[in-house]
Amino acid sequence: MQIKEALEELIAEDDVVRLLNAVMGELDYTEMYRAYAKEWRKPKTSPAAMFKVLIYGGTEGKYAGSEVSKACRRDINYIWLLGGESTPDDDALNRFRGKKLSEASEGLFYQLVIKLREMDEIKYEHLFVDGSKTEANANRYSFVWRKSVNKHAAKLERKLGEYLVELKSRYGEAETAGEMLSRLEAMRTEAFVYGRGKGKSELQRDTEKLREMLERQEKYEKYNETFNGRNSFSKTDPDATFMRMKDDHMRNSQLKPGYNVQLGVESEYIVGVDVSSERSDNSRLIPLLENIESHIGAKYGDVTTDAGYESEENYTYFEGKEQVCYIKPQNYERSKTRKFKSDMNLRENMPYDPEKDEYTCKNGKILRAVYTGKSKSASGFESEVTYYECEDCSGCTHKKTCTRAKDNRKMRISKNFLRQRNESLTRITSQKGVLLRVNRSIQVEGAFGVIKQDYGFRQFLLRGYKKVRTQLFIVAFAFNINKLHHKIQQNRTGSQLFEKFSA
């Protein structure tokens, strides 16, 4: 009792650990405790206490179980947070985080988001979205490439077919290579020899070679199952994909195993998290929004993103809804340059006749609509595309800079996408659009900056999609606690947007 009272006196009233303890004391841990229902004995340290110290470790940039466990023995804030419970060792913390917490981490995080809404810190009005690639805990040279696998698999298939014909001539007919291997193993009358200088029989050589070829074939089949639509994966973390990382200020990107992390931010708080093995951002916007909505039971008024999220599928998602999207067109920055505006070979600069549905090129030739077709994205989204072809490019002096086609220039255009892009351009250049884009840069890019630079979270410690996701929720939870604490200290609670100041 004296120790507890002494700790109470040592910890300041405005310390972040007190805020963390108060907020986490109001969460519902039923789902987390359900993971222990089949355990025959209770853990020495309660799951709620272990979750608290892991989150507090995140607020200080401590992610390894050994770091948190050491702090629980030496740091008065951690000791106070445990509330007299046994100090968990690093193995207990790692088991809890890797197995038990993975089923409940998402629910606990969104409980915090709803709690922030009850405190009027967030209002479900302005959502800012951005993505960043984070390195996985995997060997950088453990890559497996789909092209290479398919190439070697085809080569093996051909060799196996030829070898099977050869074996049939020696040992009789067999429908498959597997049946042939079973026949060869059944024909063995004496033990196979192994070691240097040992003379192997023809039967042993054929059996070993066929078995090795079938094992390689099985390996390639497993590799293709692991790809699951991707072009690469890591042998040490099969859920990780090789992506280009921005390593330094010079952006000398390297291919490394990693995950694509998406954050949704409102009022400087992280309100949505998504992690995937897909490299592109535009395919992750809709899953992020739907996941947020399913947990908070509400839709955001507007969603602001950068150019990496522009696609017809994403534009279409917002049509007919109360949500408004502020997505920067991919050609927005380039379109403001003198080079872009003076390049008459670009479709954007060609005169267009909407009545005849015709473009006129720099040489005065007409590009007419030839036919209309369907285009399907990787996610299965279908869009209507119009194909245009120039009437005659022969003898044109601008052909080299205009097209690479051998005959006439062709263009492939989605009219619906062009309409959506123009509407989005109008929105982002409005007074509100400019304000939201400024805040997107400050809030969500700022969140990534704090997590990577201040918290030192540049690489996942755990392997596998479920564990990586759990670690990300811990980081986001800790970030929100720190943000709430800072806002209270700075008397900024309830603030949503940074207003744009003019000089």
Q: What is the mean pLDDT of each run of 10 residues along the chain (503 residues)?
A: 70 92 94 81 88 95 94 93 91 92 94 96 96 93 94 96 92 89 89 81 92 96 93 95 77 84 97 94 94 95 96 94 94 92 91 93 92 89 94 89 90 94 96 95 95 93 95 97 96 88 45
> Hey, is 243 helix, strand or coil?
strand
Question: Rounded to 5 degrees, what are φ and ψ at 267?
Answer: 55, 35
Question: What is the per-residue pLDDT for 164?
Answer: 93
Q: How many CB atoms lie within 10 A of CB 308?
A: 17
CA distance 257 to 260: 10
Question: What is the per-residue pLDDT for 249?
Answer: 59
Question: What single DSSP character describes residue 463?
Answer: -
Whole-prediction pTM: 0.91
Sheet strands side by side (includes 358-360): 352-353, 358-360, 366-376, 382-390, 410-413
Question: What is the per-residue pLDDT for 172?
Answer: 87
Please classify residue 412 by burial: count the beta carbons closer than 10 Å to its beta carbon, then call 0-12 exposed, 13-18 middle and 19+ buried.
Answer: exposed
Question: What distances in angstroms separate CA 177 from CA 150, 187, 283, 404, 415, one per listed residue?
Answer: 20, 15, 42, 48, 53
Q: Do 496 and 125 touch, CB atoms closer than 8 A?
A: yes
Question: What is the per-residue pLDDT for 188?
Answer: 87
Question: Rounded to 5 degrees, what are φ and ψ at 359?
Answer: -105, 150
Question: What is the per-residue pLDDT for 502?
Answer: 44
Q: How many CB atoms lie within 10 A of CB 320?
A: 7
Q: Do 92 and 43 touch, CB atoms closer than 8 A?
A: yes
CA distance 331 to 336: 9
Question: What single DSSP character describes residue 125?
Answer: -
Residue with tokens 């890591």: 234
Nearest to 473 by CA among 143, 18, 44, 27: 27
Residue with tokens 């003379």: 199
Question: Rounded to 5 degrees, what are φ and ψ at 358?
Answer: -135, 145
The structure tokens listed for 53 are 């110290």
Residue with tokens 């009272």: 5
Q: How many CB atoms lie within 10 A of CB 182?
A: 12
CA of residue 344 relative to chain centroid, distance: 38
Nearest to 142 by CA among 49, 32, 241: 241
Q: Do 298 and 114 touch, CB atoms closer than 8 A?
A: no
Question: What single DSSP character describes residue 381?
Answer: -
Question: What distances in angstroms separate CA 453 from CA 288, 445, 446, 447, 456, one per listed residue?
Answer: 24, 12, 10, 10, 5
